[in-house]
Amino acid sequence: MGTFWTVFPKIKVFISTLYLSVLRIFSMKTQSRIVVKKFGGTSVGSIERIEAVAERVCEDAKTGQSPIVVASAMSGETNRLVRLASEINPYYRGPAYDMLLASGEQVSISLLAMAMEKRGFKAKPLLAYQLGIETDSIFSKARIKSVNSEKLKSYIDEGFIPIVAGFQGVTGDDITTLGRGGSDTTAVALAAAIGSNECEIFTDVPKVFTADPRLVKKARELDYLSFEEMMEMASLGSKVLHYRSVELAAKFGVKIHLRSTFEKREGTWVVPEGEVMENPVVSSVTHDANTAVIKLFPIKEKGQKFITELFTELAEKNVVVDIITQSQNEIGQRLAFSVTEEDLANAEVITKKLMPEGCEIFIMRDLAKISTVGVGMKNHPGVAARFFKVFSEADIPIHLVTTSEIKISAVIDKNKLEEAASALHSEFTLDKDEE
């Protein structure tokens, strides 16, 4: 007995030391976790900003994190390259175009790497072909097929901070690009490849808003959004995240933390639906001011055959068709579909080439698509009625309309966009309280 009591305090000390060391090992493990951090164009838009990004990443590395950086081109650069290409040939799409567009990221990642080396860190700038980001061969809209995660991990094991060029991939001997805004997708693909359940996307806004605050003065900040809502928003024209990045995040369970490059506070988390606390009927009003519509009437004979040929050829030329409406009366069929303004030139040429005799074509420009999105719509009837009421009260004509389980969209004249967005925002009680 006596022996037990004298030994007991020692056991107690031993147990608590063991406990502390386990805790320490555990916290070291969590601290040295690998985190993919993506910085957008404005975040690396000048030398000062590149230095600031390098500073922030190095600070994180000092706390024991292992960052993997993904960067976009410096702001405005990709647009400049697009303009150069279109001065030579606005219709060309292919390897040369993608090689040109991908060059912007090469500049930003090298500068970032230099800024980190200056701060005493080992940084490794990596283009897609060096890292092995394999895509399919749909130029300008390529999809990532695989990432060489072993290579990425070995750079980290050797103490490097990998700085990866966003937006680009490789197929065979060619460079591909993932579509405008595609750096987000690079970041999520890397996070998924290394088995991380989180990806940080740094941008020039602190949060995702219920509507574009430049358009709707009363827009509010959102703390959480579901993958599904964010996917709808992205496909409806919100520029916040590249559509494919959210799709990948949902598939691989990578939570996206969208946050500001310039502030340290929490941003908006994009997470599985079950993790969003409240589900309002409508969580956001999203718009796309880059819409054009082609209308055809009357399509008399062999209408179905023509429509099939038309959409086949549009797809072959990589023209993405968005809304389609088709109806029939005794004179013939009426077809209307929307495309982006960039694709309008190609779409018009193809349609005119295939169009049957006696059919008239109407091209409508300066349009915008406005949508309300929310997973809450699934269980709440009457959203369509409220949606249409807003347009009728404001006397705004709707050219096309489409719905899904969690959204309603209307194509309207661009000059009515602001009015429509604010009215929808109020109707669905998203307005922030007046200060």
Task: Give 165's strand partners.
Answer: 71
* Nearest CA-CA partner of 372 in 227, 231, 168, 232: 232
Q: Are strands 198-203 and 34-39 parallel, antiparallel or unpaired?
A: parallel
377 alpha-carbon distance from chain centroid: 23
Q: Using an 8 Å Cβ cutoff, are 367 and 412 in contact?
A: yes
Q: Which is nearer to Mg ion, 50 or 377 (by Cβ)?
A: 50
Binding-residue pattern over the window 29 to 68 for ligand ASP, x denoting contact by CB under 6 A: -----------xx---------------------------
User: Which token pair is 191?
Assistant: 């996070």
Provide, rounded to whole angstroms, the least separation between the CB of residue 178 and Mg ion: 11
Q: Which residues contact 130 (CB under 8 A, 6 or more apart)?
A: none
Provide, rounded to whole angstroms, the least separation between the CB of residue 417 and ligand ASP: 23
401 alpha-carbon distance from chain centroid: 23
Q: Using an 8 Å Cβ cutoff, are 279 and 374 in contact?
A: yes
Among 123-131, 174-182, 226-234, 388-396, the segment contacting ligand ASP (CB under 6 A): 174-182
Provide, rounded to whole angstroms, the least separation between the CB of residue 82 and ligand ASP: 9
DSSP assignment, residue 356? P
Distances (CA, A) of 64 to 58, 125, 207, 359, 420: 10, 20, 26, 67, 48
Provide, rounded to whole angstroms, the least separation between the CB of residue 202 and ligand ASP: 12
Subset of 16-45 contacting Mg ion (CB under 5 A):
40
93 binds ligand ASP (CB under 6 A): no
375: helix, coil or strand? helix
181 binds ligand ASP (CB under 6 A): yes
303 binds ligand ASP (CB under 6 A): no
268 binds ligand ASP (CB under 6 A): no
Provide, rounded to whole angstroms, the least separation between the CB of residue 203 and ligand ASP: 10
The H or E element containing residue 432 is none
Which one among 67, 162, 181, 374 touches Mg ion, defined by CB under 5 A?
181
Q: Which is nearer to ligand ASP, 185 or 283 (by Cβ)?
A: 185
Q: Which residues contact 70 (CB under 8 A, 6 or more apart)?
A: 36, 37, 38, 39, 163, 164, 165, 166, 183, 186, 187, 190
Q: Which is nearer to Mg ion, 240 or 373 (by Cβ)?
A: 240
Q: Using an 8 Å Cβ cutoff, are 164 and 126 in contact?
A: yes
Which one among 42, 66, 171, 183 touches ligand ASP, defined by CB under 6 A?
183
257 binds ligand ASP (CB under 6 A): no
- The structure tokens 């880059």 sit at 290
Provide, rounded to whole angstroms, the least separation between the CB of residue 226 and ligand ASP: 23
Binding-residue pattern over the window 282 to 311 for Mg ion, x denoting contact by CB under 5 A: ------------------------------
* Nearest CA-CA partner of 49 in 112, 7, 4, 92: 112
Q: Which is nearer to ligand ASP, 110 or 426 (by Cβ)?
A: 110
Choose the contact partner of 370 out of ligand ASP, Mg ion, none; CB within 5 to 8 A by kind.
none
- What residues line the site for ligand ASP (CB under 6 A)? 40-41, 72-73, 78, 104, 166-167, 180-183
Residues that bind Mg ion (CB under 5 A): 40, 181
